[in-house]
Amino acid sequence: MLYILISLLVITFVFPIISKTVEENLEPFLFIIGILASITSGVLNKELFLNIFKNEFMYIIVLAVLLGGLLFKVLTDHVNAVLTNILKYIPLKFFVYLLIVVLGLLSSIITAIIASLLLVEIISMLPISRKNKININIISCFSIGLGAVLTPIGEPLATIVVSRLDESFWFLFNEFGIYIIPGILILGIFGMIFAKEERIQEEKEEEIIIQETNRTIVIRALKIFLFIIALDLLGEGFKPVIDTYIISLDTRYLYWVNICSAILDNATLAAAEISVKMSKLQIEAVLMGLLISGGMMIPGNIPNIISAGKLKIKSSEWIRLGVPLGFFIMIIYFVILFVR
């Protein structure tokens, strides 16, 4: 059984990287793997599905994504007008600081998806070069990725963690706020470095060209719904592998192992790894490793994927700042967590 589950785990990690079709249809792919893993582990039954559908946070995040997307679509023109006026009175560097910090903190309430949609709209208006827009976007996505985990409605990873640990709504804020909030504030300061006002003529294809429609908003919400179900199935299906190999790992190794979140969605890894049998430090190591490394490359997190698609950022452009910044942040948090 374990060999089959390990094979499925390898497929889960590798196929989204090597297959563009799988990458573009990640939710149904993960759902199928989750079903297969649950069958292999012998846990696929009516009770499992009933428990999954009892998770009220799943419905909250899907509803937030749906209503937030529709509201954002209606208010886009008004948002652009307000931002144009704000930039007349607030220095650009301070505005960028506020952008990174506020979106990072708000993402736990308005969801990482809505925060990233706001981000690309705002960044597209900034009077700076494309290179600096990309850099500010990457730093903002690190901030959103960290902040969204503070409540279960922020992103699927948070929903899954709270569900699997059977904790309350404010559990993640209470346990991880002390690590995450200072990190967001420091990211805001770092982002100010790239807030250099420049009037640069750019070609049309460099601008945002993908527009939101009611259909894309509804499809996105349905994909999130399927995604969360798939993650629960993966978590239950891969539980024997986690109990046998992961939980026994030294916590410091566990932290660095999760750097693979740079190329795999961190919610998928959280579903496979998080267990009630883990110690508090193990959970901290898993989550912080996943959250930080998730910002290093485009596939690592939902905000990365959305903003890279709408701003047409190439993987090579993202890696140039994302990887060194991610490594630097991981070293800092490693010291905070383990050097005491």
**Which residues of the chain, if any, have pLDDT below 70?**
198-212, 247, 262-265, 268, 340
**pLDDT at 93 (0 to 100):** 92
Angle at 329 between CA 120 and CA 57, to 5 degrees: 60
Q: Cβ–Cβ contacts within 10 Å for residue 304, how many?
A: 28
Distance CA 315, CA 107 (A): 24
147: Cα separation from own chain's centroid = 9
**pLDDT at 107 (0 to 100):** 93
**pLDDT at 209 (0 to 100):** 44
For the chain, report the end-to-end CA distance as a whole number of angstroms.
40
**pLDDT at 202 (0 to 100):** 47
User: Tokens in use for 339?
Assistant: 């050097």
Q: What is the CA radius of gyration of the chain?
A: 20
**pLDDT at 205 (0 to 100):** 43
* CB 188, CB 100: distance < 8 Å: yes
SS (H, E, C) the chain: CHHHHHHHHHHHHHHHHHCHHHHHCHHHHHHHHHHHHHHHHCCCCHHHHHHHHCCHHHHHHHHHHHHHHHHHHHHHHHHHHHHHHHHHHCCHHHHHHHHHHHHHHHHHHHCHHHHHHHHHHHHHHCCCCHHHHHHHHHHHHHHHHHHHHHCCCCCHHHHHHHHHHCCCCCHHHHHHHHHHHHHHHHHHHHHHHHCCCCCCCCCHHHCCCCCCCHHHHHHHHHHHHHHHHHHHHHHHHCHHHHHHHHCCCCHHHHHHHHHHHHCCCHHHHHHHHCCCCCCHHHHHHHHHHHHHHCCCCHHHCHHHHHHHHHHCCCHHHHHHHHHHHHHHHHHHHHHHHHCC
pLDDT tens column, 134-148? 999 999 999 999 999
Distance CA 331, CA 340 (A): 14
Distance CA 293, CA 291 (A): 6
pLDDT tens column, 267-276? 767 777 787 8
Sign of the C-alpha dihedral, residues 154, 159, 161, 165? positive
Distance CA 151, CA 153 (A): 5
User: Tokens in use for 237?
Assistant: 């299906």
* CB 291, CB 149: distance < 8 Å: yes
